[in-house]
Chain A
Amino acid sequence: MSVLVFMEAGDELSLQALTFARGIDPEAEIVAFGTAPAVAGVVHLAELGDYAPQAWARAIAGLGATTIVAAGSDRGNEVLAHAAVMTGGVFAANVIEAAGDDIVRMRWGGSLLEEARLHGDVRLMTVAPHAVAAEEAAGEPDVRTFTPELHDADMLVRVVERVDTSTGGLSLAEAPVVVSGGRGVGSAEGFEPLEDLASLLGAAVGCSRAVTSAGWRPHTDQVGQTGTKISPELYIPCGISGATQHMAGCKGAKKLLAINSDPEAPIMASADYAVVGDVLEVVPAISAELRRVRGAP
Chain B
Amino acid sequence: MVLTADERAIETRHLGFTVSPHEECGVEEAVRIAEAQGGEVTVVTLGPPEAEEQLREMLALGADRAILLETDGADWDPEATAAALVEVIEGEAPDLVIFGNESADSGGYQVGIRVAHALARPIVTGLKALAVEDGQLRGQQETGDVYRVPLPAVVTVKEGINLPRYPSVPAKLRARRKPVDRVQPAARAPRIELVRLRVPEGRGHQAEVLGEGPSAAPAVVELLQRLGVA
Contacts and interface: CB of A to CB of B under 8 A. Distances in A.
B5 interface: no
Given A81-B110, A109-B107, A277-B212, A226 B193 contact: no
A274 B195 contact: no
Interface centre among B113, B147, B203 (most CB of A within 10 A): B113
A136 B74 CA distance: 42
Interface in A248-297: 255, 257-258, 263, 268-278, 281-282, 284-286, 288-290, 293
Contacts of A158: 147
Contacts of B198: 112-113, 115
Interface residues of B, number: 74
Contacts of B142: 74, 165
B101 to A, nearest CB: 8
A297 B102 CA distance: 46
Interface string A214-250: 0100011010011100000110000000001100000
A112 B197 contact: yes
A268 B22 contact: no
Interface residues of A, number: 85
B200 to A, nearest CB: 5
Interface stretch (A18-26, A86-94, A141-149): A86-94
B217 interface: yes
A110 interface: yes
A289 B193 CA distance: 55
A271 B122 CA distance: 44
B109 to A, nearest CB: 4
B159 A226 contact: yes
Contacts of B42: none
A234 B229 contact: yes
Contacts of A226: 20-22, 104, 158-160
A290 B109 contact: no
A281 B214 CA distance: 6
Q: For A113, A270, A278, which residue has the most chain B Cβ atoms within 10 angstroms?
A: A113
Interface in B118-136: 120, 122-126
B212 A276 contact: yes
A82 B110 CA distance: 8
B120 to A, nearest CB: 8
B195 A115 contact: yes
Contacts of A110: 200
Given A92-B192, A219-B159, A275-B216, A270 B203 contact: yes
Main secondary structure of the interface of B (DSSP, over half): mixed
Contact of A106 (B107, B125, B144, B210): B107
B110 A93 contact: yes
Contacts of A162: 144-146
A273 B208 contact: yes
B218 interface: yes
Contacts of A99: none
B49 interface: no
B149 interface: yes
Given A113-B199, A219-B159, A81 B109 contact: yes
B213 A278 contact: yes
Nearest to A271: B207
A126 B223 contact: no
B209 A274 contact: yes
Interface in B11-63: 20-22
A69 B195 CA distance: 22
A94 B208 CA distance: 31
Contacts of B214: 277, 281-282, 284-285
Nearest to A89: B191
A84 B189 CA distance: 17
Nearest to B111: A81
Nearest to A218: B160
Interface of B: 1, 10, 20-22, 78-79, 102, 104-110, 113-114, 117, 120, 122-126, 140-150, 158-160, 163, 189-200, 202-203, 205, 207-218, 220-221, 223-224, 227-230
28 contacts: A74-B141, A77-B109, A81-B114, A82-B113, A84-B110, A84-B114, A85-B117, A90-B192, A91-B108, A93-B107, A107-B197, A108-B1, A108-B105, A110-B200, A113-B200, A114-B197, A115-B196, A119-B191, A159-B145, A161-B146, A202-B229, A272-B207, A272-B208, A275-B209, A276-B213, A277-B212, A290-B221, A293-B221
Given A81-B109, A117-B192, A118-B193, 17 more contacts: A77-B102, A93-B108, A114-B197, A156-B150, A159-B147, A164-B144, A209-B21, A225-B21, A226-B160, A234-B227, A257-B220, A258-B207, A274-B208, A275-B212, A276-B213, A278-B213, A284-B214
